[in-house]
Amino acid sequence: MTRAKRGYAARKHRRNIIQLASGFRGAHSKIVRASNQQVVRAPAPSHRDRDKRKRDFRRPRIARINAAARNAGVSHTKLIRHSSKNQVLPNRKIPAQMAVPDTESSATILRISASDGGR
């Protein structure tokens, strides 16, 4: 039986690793061992920061809703409690976007959603 070397398969594997590491700096995009380590480790921060980005977007939304709710005479916690009980506000994104350009109409809407609505 003839001797079979892993030449092409190994080369193909190394080439794929180098391609995955193409945007990395220095030896991390050129040397196979360093590239392999970086390719394995690279997805972890992006996975972690996807959740962190959602938290970072949530904080200013809550601050905007709280400011608009205070203009309406209600606190943020009472607004969310009453609106979820009355099934009025689906999420925090839309009221936060409404609160920025037009504070008076958003205060009226928030005041209505914070009230019991005749229930």
Asked if residues 63 and 99 have their Cβ atoms less than 8 Å apart, the reply is no
Does the pLDDT of residue 117 top 60, yes or no?
A: no
Q: Write the DSSP symbol of residue 92.
A: S
Q: Is 65 a domain residue?
A: yes
For 2-29, what is the mean pLDDT? 88
Same domain for 95 and 55, yes or no, is: yes
pLDDT above 90 covers a percentage of the chain that reads 28
Q: Is 46 a domain residue?
A: no
- pLDDT attached to residue 118: 45
Same domain for 31 and 64, yes or no, is: no
Same domain for 75 and 98, yes or no, is: yes
Q: Is the dihedral of CA 22, 27, 32, 35 positive or negative?
A: negative
Distance of alpha carbon 104 from its chain centroid, rounded? 30
| Per-residue pLDDT reduced to its tens digit, 54-67 | 999 989 988 888 88
Same domain for 37 and 60, yes or no, is: no
Same domain for 37 and 57, yes or no, is: no
Per-residue pLDDT band for 18 (boundaries 50, 70, 90) equals very high
Same domain for 58 and 110, yes or no, is: yes
| Per-chain mean pLDDT for the chain | 82
Same domain for 35 and 61, yes or no, is: no
Q: Is 2 a domain residue?
A: no
Measured CA to CA, the distance from residue 59 to residue 71 in angstroms comes to: 19
Task: Give how many domains the chain has, as a whole number.
Answer: 2
Grouping H, G, I as helix, E, B as strand and the rest as coil, residue 36 is: helix
| Per-residue pLDDT reduced to its tens digit, 75-110 | 888 887 877 777 776 677 877 887 777 777 777 777
Domain containing residue 22: 7-41
Grouping H, G, I as helix, E, B as strand and the rest as coil, residue 57 is: helix
Same domain for 23 and 76, yes or no, is: no
Expressed in angstroms, the distance from the first to the final Cα of the chain is 86
Measured CA to CA, the distance from residue 74 to residue 112 in angstroms comes to: 11
